[in-house]
Amino acid sequence: MKTYTQETIQAQLEQLNDWTFKHNSIQKDFQFKNFQEALSFIVRIGILAEKQNHHPEITNVYNKVSLRLTTHDSDGVTEKDVTLAATIDKI
């Protein structure tokens, strides 16, 4: 599977909402009104990720959620990550 670099990911990042390329991954931070909203968002991501059989790294502190997408098998960002990010953007 083709992996993206800082240079080759740019066109895909332009199609996504506020995702950035860092450390061989694409990342985005979210902030919610409270913990309940953050947790609800995480659950929705979990359902989508399971359907796509591609699972993000998720960090949660109270009302903040950070996501990191990378394809571990390919050692970098692939179309799987871009597709999951686009799906998450629709939540």
Residue 5 included in any domain: no
Confirm whether 61 is domain-assigned.
Answer: yes
Q: Which domain holds residue 25?
A: 10-89
The pLDDT of residue 42: 98
Spell out the residues 6+ positions from residue 60 whose beta carbon is closer than 8 angstroms to its own.
38, 39, 42, 66
Low-confidence ranges of the chain (pLDDT < 50): none
Per-residue pLDDT at 8: 96
The residues near 2 (Cβ < 8 Å, ≥ 6 apart) are 78, 79
Question: Within 13 A of 91's CA, how many CA atoms are on the CB side?
Answer: 18
Any domain includes 14: yes
Q: How many domains does the chain have?
A: 1
Residue 1 counted as domain residue: no
The pLDDT of residue 54 is 97
Q: Is residue 4 part of a domain?
A: no
- Taken in order 83, 12, 37, 72, is the CA torsion positive or negative? positive
Q: The CATH number of the domain where 46 resides is what?
A: 3.30.1360.20
Q: What is the CA radius of gyration of the chain?
A: 13
Query: Is residue 60 assigned to a domain?
Result: yes
